[in-house]
Amino acid sequence: MERLVELAKNPDRVVVLTGAGISAESGIPTFRGKDGLWNRYNPTELATFEAFERDPLLVWQWYLWRMHLIANASPNPGHYALARMERLYPSFLLVTQNVDGLHREAGSKNIVELHGNIFEGKCRYCGKHYSEREFAELFPFADKSFLRSVTEQELKERVFPELRRNLPVCKRCGELVGPGVVWFGEELPPAALESALRASSAAELFFSVGTSAVVQPAASLPLVAKRSGAILVEVNPEETPLSARCDFVFRESAASFLPRFVE
């Protein structure tokens, strides 16, 4: 750590890429970890437009279950440390694959959300976008304060049976609205990907935190940084395909490493 802190004294361009692992200590299951979402469901099955067209009720049940978990979760010391880190460096960009909004809740300002925001809505038929507030109005079950007012039990016993007749219908085109996230096979928001690529190719110090580094195109960002001469740091209790390319690897949780790094 000392050598990294030494090297990290004066870089003025720092990029941090985060994945589901940084929200693990907020109680949100990761995708591929041992208790991961992938084990109970197959998100490449569910997080797709095909699945939504085939069974919108099942897809919305899965997302409401996750939204309920997230609405009742709070940022952990790892999120707060990154919000502090942003103030330490003249140029700092946080690029997240997470859709839970916990970085914003922890106070991070310079954020790129590559995979969208689970509390927003997106009509994939006419392209209309719904902000968190607009979507909560269109689809009250998606409202964070509603989700905080019910238990998981009530969600399953009271909300799910009502869901079929209350799925969100687009105000503009009358089709069903889905969650405002990027599904597999869908393009990432071009502006978000562009700024993440630009910052990664100019970075002097690049952290990959809590990501299994397999989902493309996000997983290519650390390699873009490395190729442009950045020092590459991985923070992850487990080995990933990126580990061998890193200059520093900290085999520990984000919530333990990041607060130590910024103190």
Cβ pair 71, 147 in contact under 8 A: yes
Q: Does 130 bind ligand BV8 (CB under 6 A)?
A: no
Stretch that binds ligand BV8, among 92-100, 135-143, 148-156, 164-172 (CB under 6 A): 92-100
Alpha-carbon 161 to chain mean position = 29
Q: Does 26 bind ligand BV8 (CB under 6 A)?
A: no
* Binding-site member from 14, 20, 69, 159 for ligand BV8 (CB under 6 A): 20
210 binds, among ligand BV8, Zn ion, none (CB under 5 to 8 A by kind): ligand BV8
Cβ pair 186, 49 in contact under 8 A: yes
Stretch that binds Zn ion, among 16-24, 111-119, 168-176, 242-250 (CB under 5 A): 168-176
Longest Cα separation, the chain: 59
Q: Does 27 appear as a known binding residue?
A: yes
Cβ pair 100, 22 in contact under 8 A: no
Strands in the chain per DSSP E? 13-18, 91-96, 111-113, 116-122, 129-130, 178-181, 205-209, 231-235, 248-250
Task: Show the binding pattern over residues 238-257: x = contacts ligand BV8 (CB under 6 A), - = does not.
Answer: x-x------------xxx--
Report, in Å, the least distance between residue 81 CB and ligand BV8: 12
Q: Does 144 bind Zn ion (CB under 5 A)?
A: no
# of chain residues touching ligand BV8 (CB under 6 A): 38
Report, in Å, the least distance between residue 177 CB and Zn ion: 7
Alpha-carbon 37 to chain mean position = 14
Paired tokens of 237: 């209790």
Determine how many CB atoms are found less than 10 A away from the CB of residue 184: 14
Active site residues: 115
Residues 170-189 that bind Zn ion (CB under 5 A): 170, 172-173
Q: For residue 109, give the DSSP letter.
A: -
Residues 218-237 that bind ligand BV8 (CB under 6 A): 235-237
Calpha distance 78→252 (Å, rounded): 12
Residues 131-170 that bind ligand BV8 (CB under 6 A): none
Tell me the HSE value of 156 on the side-chain side, using a 13 A CA sphere.
6
Cβ pair 85, 263 in contact under 8 A: no
Binding residues: 19-38, 63, 66, 97-100, 123, 126, 170, 173, 210-212, 236-238, 254
Binding site for ligand BV8 (CB under 6 A): 19-22, 24-25, 30-33, 36, 44, 47, 97-99, 115, 181-187, 210-212, 214-216, 235-238, 240, 253-255
Binding site for Zn ion (CB under 5 A): 123, 125-126, 128, 170, 172-173
